[in-house]
Amino acid sequence: MGGYRQAHARSLADPEGFWGEAAAAIDWEHPCSRVLDASHPPFYRWFPDGRLNTCHNAVDRHIAAGRGDQVALVYDSPVTGTVRRFTYRELGDEAARVAGGLRSLGVEQGDRVILYMPMIPEAVIGMLACARIGAIHSVVFGGFAAAELATRIDDARPRVILSASCGLEGARVVAYKPLLDRALEMAEHRPEHCVIRQRPQAEAALVSGRDLEWDEVMAAAEPAPCVPVAATDPLYILYTSGTTGVPKGVVRDNGGHAVALRWSMDHIYAVQPGEVYWAASDVGWVVGHSYIVYAPLLAGCTTILYEGKPVGTPDAGAFWRVAADHGVNVLFTAPTALRAIKQQDPEGRLIGQYDLSRFRTLFLAGERCDPDTLEWARERLGVPVIDHWWQTETGWAIGANCLGIEALPVKPGSAGVPVPGYDVQILDAAGEELGPGEIGTIGIRLPLPPGNLPTLWQNDSGFVSSYLERYPGYYLTGDAGYRDEDGYLWIMSRIDDIINVAGHRLSTGAMEEVLASHPAVAECAVIGAADRLKGQVPVGFVVLKQGVDRPEAEIVAELVALVRDRIGPVAAFKQAAVVARLPKTRSGKILRSTMRRIADGEEWRLPATIDDPGTLDEVGRALAGLGFPGGPSPAGERP
């Protein structure tokens, strides 16, 4: 670990020297004279007097360096049968034209623009166009419920909204415009214009005077040049759900973001300019912001925009087809996507149908990857499979195996080691640091490295109360876990998923790891349900692999015995249910906290990001069958 340890130690001992050197990989209109402004803790700012433009760094600088004919963006849509490629020059021309279109509608530096878009090139181009003129973009996941979109409109107060007539969820057409119209009826703020990209799958009716056709606006626009902005100026706002139901607007600044993401491509993912990097996510999530749009382009790579699913478009070989067709070198996806593929193709037979000779690394993030799934992928793909850990708030990895520094041994179930820049500590309830092997709350000592949120949008007090108040001097990740003797991080669950069974603090993540090792189980979740005698008891939910034809009661009995054998009777694991699908967000996170509220009979709100509301109904029925309350009807209406 010599190279990694040296880099990590230096990043903590001399953060200004470390990140000052990293900043040299970025073009600056005006280089900073100071790397870190620590004069107003806990509000730290990186590169405080530097000036730059993110779109210039992502596109124009590569054109100027003679690489304008390299492919920058590949749009692959199996649902429409479309593949389009944009060179850096073409992408730059499109971004400049859309930036000019925004200018023609009165958008200036510091104005907000909401993008409510499907996975089409205009979403990427719209983000770059905002960055080009110093406008602040806020991407809202396409198809979000109207009420959720309305809250974001009122908080960001955009001058213009960029949208499309529809999105495509597999074979299903989701009309966006009625949702947008309803959100605008509900919102107090009124944007001046909505610019709508009409798609052939659904024609949107436009409101006269407010709504404009995308093609008409852009055709009449004069290309706009890049506008230098302060490194500390916001690049974007990305909303994440708050515990109160009110979304939190995570702010990302221009300078720290560009420096951190550019550094990560070299040092975490070991990707070089000209190589093909694919983050199989959505532009509405943080992974899409960081690793579909900005990081690959900042590094001069080719990035993939995929409008499809891991399964069903058309089958469980979809990812391998995309990787083969476009020569993908590195793929980044969520463990839930891999589990869906594994469920439908347990032997991995479809992998062998494609030429993956250029594919060298698979990265996973979004939620903890169980060791069984990681090893399944590693054995069948024959490449390193790296689980790493980060959050919407951080914008890039906290824990990883930094392949560009030193390729360390992979420990299945671990999120690797702390990435340089992050001083990760395991804390007890009093804020004292715990030793190796002890489970506690995971905190990051301030200051956070570049690229992390400096605050919440127009809500400094909310930033402090949400993340900094509980453990002064630390950022509260909200995750629980431990560090082993070798310094590897084991992210076991959210803080709320550490359950107390008869006085014993137990990790539901550890139980999930055991359940996932059963040969019949494709994926699983464990929650802690209220119990009069023990305080809480664990309840398991499992999805079986395709083709498993055994009595469910027999499999459940084996699962109970497996947990008892590997964790012990102290776990009090006695109940599990087989379900067709687990309740998840559209980004693949399992809705454990909502499931727990249903189990305890508490009022619960239907999450705006839920992929299929029917999965929660199934959980309620399963819990009722196990003797739990099953939960009352949710607060609010279903989307």
The model's pLDDT over 305-323, given as tens digits with 9 standing for 90+, comes to 999 999 999 999 999 999 9
Q: What is the DSSP letter of 47?
A: S
Q: Rounded CA gap, 393 and 248, in Å?
A: 10
The β-bridge relationship of strands 417-418 and 399-400 is: antiparallel
Q: Rounded CA gap, 621 and 599, in Å?
A: 10
Segment 526-531 mean pLDDT: 89
> CB under 8 Å to 551, separation ≥6 — which residues?
none
Does 347 score more than 60 pLDDT? yes
Give the range among 126-130, 166-170, 278-282, 631-635 with minimum mean pLDDT.
Answer: 631-635
Q: What is the pLDDT of residue 510?
A: 80
Phi (first) and psi of residue 111, to 5 degrees: -70, 155
Give the range among 160-174, 446-460, 597-611 with minimum mean pLDDT.
Answer: 597-611
Segment 180-193 mean pLDDT: 96
With cut-offs at 50, 70 and 90, classify the pLDDT of residue 495: confident
Q: What is the CATH number of the domain that holds 542?
A: 3.30.300.30
Say if 592 falls within a structural domain. Answer: yes
> CB under 8 Å to 631, separation ≥6 — which residues?
597, 598, 599, 600, 601, 602, 604, 620, 623
Say if 234 falls within a structural domain. Answer: no
Please count the CA atoms within 13 angstroms of the CA of 237 that sit on its side-chain side.
Answer: 26
Q: What is the pLDDT of residue 96?
A: 98
Say if 579 falls within a structural domain. Answer: yes
Segment 499-507 mean pLDDT: 69
Give the range among 174-178, 196-200, 369-373, 486-490 with minimum mean pLDDT.
Answer: 369-373
Q: What is the pLDDT of residue 493?
A: 76
Say if 74 falls within a structural domain. Answer: no
Q: What is the pLDDT of residue 496?
A: 67
Q: Which pTM was predicted?
A: 0.86
With cut-offs at 50, 70 and 90, classify the pLDDT of residue 638: very low
Q: What residues are paired with 521 via a beta bridge?
A: 544
* Token code pair at residue 377: 């992928």
Segment 15-26 mean pLDDT: 98
Q: What is the domain extent for residue 508?
A: 502-625
Residue-wise pLDDT tens digits, 106-146: 999 999 999 999 999 999 999 999 999 999 999 998 877 78
Does 535 score more than 90 pLDDT? no
Q: Rounded CA gap, 210 and 194, in Å?
A: 6
* Token code pair at residue 22: 């990293």
Does 245 score more than 70 pLDDT? no
Averaged pLDDT of the chain: 93
Does 241 score more than 50 pLDDT? yes
Say if 507 falls within a structural domain. Answer: yes
Does 639 score more than 50 pLDDT? no
Q: Rounded CA gap, 321 and 315, in Å?
A: 10
Q: Which of 259-263, 342-346, 365-369 has the highest mean pLDDT?
A: 259-263
Does 500 score more than 80 pLDDT? no
Say if 266 falls within a structural domain. Answer: no
Domain count, the chain: 1
* Token code pair at residue 520: 């019949």
Using the structure block, give the residue that is written with the tokens 């009022």: 603
Q: What is the pLDDT of residue 526?
A: 94
Segment 402-424 mean pLDDT: 97
Helix (H, G, I), strand (E, B) or coil at 545: coil
Helix (H, G, I), strand (E, B) or coil at 234: strand
With cut-offs at 50, 70 and 90, classify the pLDDT of residue 237: very high
Say if 510 falls within a structural domain. Answer: yes
Radius of gyration for the chain, computed over Cα atoms and rounded to the nearest angstrom: 24
Segment 152-178 mean pLDDT: 94
% of residues, the chain, pLDDT over 90: 79
Say if 535 falls within a structural domain. Answer: yes
Q: What is the DSSP letter of 307?
A: -
Q: What residues are paired with 140 via a beta bridge?
A: 116
With cut-offs at 50, 70 and 90, classify the pLDDT of residue 608: confident
Q: Rounded CA gap, 637 and 224, in Å?
A: 43
Does 367 score more than 50 pLDDT? yes
Q: What is the pLDDT of residue 145?
A: 79
What are the CA-CA distances from residue 394 to residues 147, 295, 384, 410 (Å)? 26, 14, 24, 23
With cut-offs at 50, 70 and 90, classify the pLDDT of residue 279: very high
